[in-house]
Structure 1
Amino acid sequence: MESFNEKCTLSQGDDKSQGDKTLRYSEPGLPEHIWHHILSLMPLRDAARAACVSRAFLCNWRCHPNLMFTMETLRLKRKPHRKTCAFAIKVDHILKNHSGIGVKRLKLGTCDYCNFNINASSINSWLQVAITPGIEEITFASNYEGRYIFPLSLLSDGHGSSIQYLDLRSCTLRPTAALGCLTSLTKLRLCDVHITDDELMSLLSKSFALVELELTRCSEIICLNIPCLLERFSRLTVFECSNLKMVKSNAPNLTTLSFTGNPVEFTLSQVKELQMDCSDVSNFICYAITKLPYSFPNLISLTLCSVNEGVNTPTVAAKFLHLKHLKIYLEADEALPPEYDYMSLVSFLDASPVLETFILSVQQEDIKHGRVSEVASDMRQMPEHKHSNLKNVMILGFCTAKSMVELTCHILDNATSLKRITLDTVCDFSDECKISRCYITSARRTGDCTPLSNKMILEAERGTMAIERYILGKVPSTVELTVRGPCTHCHVTK
């Protein structure tokens, strides 16, 4: 059998009409479906180049499955002085030469590449070419600030039955009864989309296989209702939907909710993993402990983010009976109020009788609490508050506030099953529990760490001394203690 290289040869011959030499390419005798597969693995730009030099690729180029029209694939730069839109010209040329057969993925983002609106009729014609039976993914962003009405009619007559992923941004959706069932759709993302409660309900009711829904800044939605027929639906993300008042679901397997915005009325008793960020709400941690046990009685994992915390966490009768993992993130532009009592967070530990993991992250520029060195005597103790299942504790941004030292000592005295505790005097992390300081990642290159002010570095050093003086001696021999301080390569006072 001849090798691939033997059949792919370049030969030279004289072109008498032009008086110079030309190159002729002899293509290997591969089946057409192999050529088609090779082309499908190429980025759009490379596939176009290959089509210019190969007859086999040229034929298959007209059926390229991945139409990804982005700044990177089209190699475009914004040039406001241009009177024509290069983006529109290129997309129009490609799609006019495409057969419309075999498209699997379409990414069309007109809002990112143009300084003026592309004609809506042009967008409609592009979508009509690309959205054909067999398409699996659609990502679309309009440049009409939501005024463009996405033609859902293109998903009728079986055209939408193969779609698995639908991501629409900055447009309007008006589902009608004529819309066919989206029987394969598993993930739906809507960002800055104009769609009402009833219209969204109509769209969801035709998406029987839906697993995940993301809504971002969809301001027309007031009551979000997930229908019970979505038996596979498991994850819901809601981000800053400003007019939302209620979220309820009858979907039996909805277990994960990520919510950012003002608190609303929730009817989601089946949710087991909850992430809530209500940064614009004062004293959100206080709200969470008083309201969430009733709205989410079956929580196993809870993450709370607060920026404007100033009221101590109250003791409540309600319980998170199944909660095993708790993360609390407290942030402040300068410093938390001097009267804030970290020790009050024991109320969360008391309300979570089976809690196993507790992570507290405190990010602030300054410390205005009374430092423990100033009032070292009279440490508060709560021996009646036992946390028998708590095994892992991490405090990021450990400071010299007396109430934080008291909280740490309380955990060491009353968490009878504690195995590990990490105290980090710098709140500096790139993702969950992964410290980004370079001396921990062994990169050891100056400048790898997040910059810290002199004030923060000095406070971190004081925190390390407080740990050595007041906490180290309380750590049982069965508990693994990890203490982290400022990076010796990057965090140096100036």
Structure 2
Amino acid sequence: MAEGVWISSYCLHTEGFPKLLYATMQRLGIQERLEYEGHEYEEYGTEHCEVTIYIAKSEDFPNIAEAWSMTATGFRYALTLEHLDLSGCNEIISLKIPSVMQKLSLSSTRLICQIIENKAPSLSSFHLIPGVRKLSLGEASQMMKELSLFGANAMCYGRAELPSIMPNLESLSLGSSHEPMLPTKFVNLKHLYTQITSSTLSPSYDYSSLVSFLDASPSLETWWLEVPRADMGHELVGPSSHLRQLPERHHHHLKIVEMIAFNSTKSLVELTCCIVKSAVSLERLTFDTFRGDGRSPCCSDDSGFSYSKFMIEQASRAVEAIRMYIEQARCHANAFND
């Protein structure tokens, strides 16, 4: 349809809405054909389509005794849309992004969706909470720079599939429960955020398995690791604990590491010691021992956030673990590197 040109049609052979509307009108006793009249125009750089539908009177229903019409205006965003956010659209089962969306570069789809198919060539950032049976990002996967993936098997999927599917990935966020790691490479990955959730976390979970991300990401510069608070099922370090000596790596690019909700779980301390010894260019190591809900108002910070007695005890044990083991590992690494 050319811009500014009005077109009239009965749309007798058009599938979709016209066919459905025609069948509905017949049920209402409207036997005459529906007439569509419309035109396209551009406004503020976006293509619009205005359509008026003329509907005859009903032979069966007295309250539709007069002919009437309705007008609808649509917008064609496909050529100009750059940002797509479907947060909260929990009833979407299948999402298909067509190739005509040439400028789409960011898609925020924090929804549970079974099928996602993308053909937009410029898509470079994607945020997804998976329960996805089929995920196809098309040619855009080769150019993907940023990905967030949260769900029960996110880390396993991330390590097993993403290096080959998204070789140019630079920033990756993964949230998951415990899973095995696989020996594949993220050659270009620079920023990594990993979140271990407590919903299905086994007491026997070994945090040291996460060191495989260090092996798999030779260009990694920043690593944020968020873990759940320790519970009675995890082995905690103490003054007489014997830590495993994990094989040391020599990672030359990792500069910033932040541990969120750091605690004295033994395998987490072992992982941290390994990172400290392996990251020869490490510039900043941050431990956040208070992260989460404080339900017992024992103490509070300047913002009024309350910390429970249990959280205070955990934080104290975490600080002792840092002083007893991690500072010692850092001194060892400095002496070795010097």
User: 1:390 pairs with 254, 263, 278, which one?
Assistant: 254
Equivalence for 2:98: 226
Q: Could you tell me which residue of structure 2 aligns to residue 402 of structure 1?
A: 266
Aligned counterparts, 1:414-433, within 5 A: 414-428=278-292
Aligned to 2:118: 248
- TM superposition shift of 1:286: 2.2
Alignment partners' CA distance in 2, 1:363 and 1:218 = 26
Query: How many angstroms apart in 2 are the aligned matches of 1:467 and 1:460?
Result: 10
2:159 alignment counterpart? 289
Letter in 2 for 1:235: L
Label 1:337 to 1:266 Cα distance change in 2 as closer, same or farther (>3 A): same
Q: Classify 1:422/1:180 alpha carbon distance in 2 versus 1 (closer, same or farther; 3 Å).
A: same
Mapping 1:421-460, distance limit 5 Å? 421-428=285-292, 444=302, 448-449=304-305, 451-460=306-315
Q: Say which SS state the counterpart of residue 269 (structure 1) adopts.
A: helix
Structure 1 residues 477, 253: closer, same or farther in 2, change over 3 A?
A: farther
**Does the aligned pair in 1 maintain the 2:277–2:332 contact within 8 Å?**
no
Task: Give the letter aligned to residue 327 of structure 1.
Answer: Y
Displacement of 1:459: 1.2
1:359-378, CA deviations, whole angstroms, 9 ceiling, x for partnerless residues? 00113362522112176224
2:237 aligned partner:
372
Amino acid in the other structure paired with 2:185 = K
> Counterpart in 2 of 1:310?
178
Q: Which moved more, 1:321-330 or 1:466-475?
A: 466-475
Deviations 1:19-45 (A, max 9, x none): xxxxxxxxxxxxxxxxxxxxxxxxxxx
Aligned residue among 265, 276, 279 for 2:149: 276
Question: Deviation at 1:237?
Answer: 1.7
**1:295/1:181 CA distance change after superposition, 3 Å:** farther
Work out whether residues 231 and 252 of structure 1, in 8 Å CA contact, stay in contact via their aligned partners in 2: yes
The answer to whether the Cα contact below 8 Å between 1:361 and 1:427 also exists between their aligned partners in 2 is no
Tell me the percent identity. Answer: 31
Q: Return 5+ residue gaps in structure 1 as ranges.
A: 1-152, 165-177, 186-206, 430-436, 480-494
- The reply to whether residue 329 of structure 1 matches residue 195 of structure 2 is yes
Taking the TM superposition and a 5 Å limit, the aligned residue runs for 1:49-198 are: 157-158=39-40, 161-162=43-44, 182=75, 185=77
Question: C-alpha offsets along residues 248-282 of structure 1, whole Å, 9 cap, x if unaligned?
Answer: 22x3321111112313423322211111122xx2x
Given the superposition, is the C-alpha separation of residues 179 and 351 from structure 1 closer, same or farther in structure 2, using an over 3 Å criterion? farther
Report if the CA contact (8 A) 1:397-1:427 is conserved: yes
1:261 to 130, 146, 150: 130
Structure 1: which 4+ aligned runs deviate by more than 6 Å?
178-181
**Residue 325 of structure 2, aligned match among 445, 470, 473:** 470
Cα 1:438/1:295, change in 2 over 3 Å? farther
Q: Which amino acid aligns with 2:227?
A: V
Q: Deviations over 1:404-444 (max 9, x none)?
A: 11111111111111111001222249xxxxxxx985xxxx3
CA distance in 1, matches of 2:154, 2:244: 27
Q: Provide the secondary structure at the position in 2 that maps to 1:327.
A: strand
Relative to structure 1, the CA distance from residue 218 to residue 360 in structure 2 (aligned partners, 3 Å threshold; closer, same or farther) is closer
Shift of 1:342: 0.8
CA distance in 2, matches of 1:328, 1:421: 16
In 1: Cα distance, 2:292 partner to 2:236 partner: 22
Distance 2:181 2:284 in 1: 27
Contact 1:160 1:180 in 2 (8 A): no
Deviation of 1:247 (Å): 2.4
How many pairs align?
266
State the partner residue of 2:79. 208
Q: Deviations over 1:169-222 (max 9, x none)?
A: xxxxxxxxx998846x4xxxxxxxxxxxxxxxxxxxxx2111012234364553
Write the letter of the residue equivalent to 1:418: L
DSSP-derived class of the 1:209 partner: coil
Matched residue SS, 1:393: strand
Structure 1 pair 375–320 and aligned structure 2 pair: CA distance change class (3 A): farther
Cα deviation 1:56-102 (Å, max 9, x = unaligned):
xxxxxxxxxxxxxxxxxxxxxxxxxxxxxxxxxxxxxxxxxxxxxxx
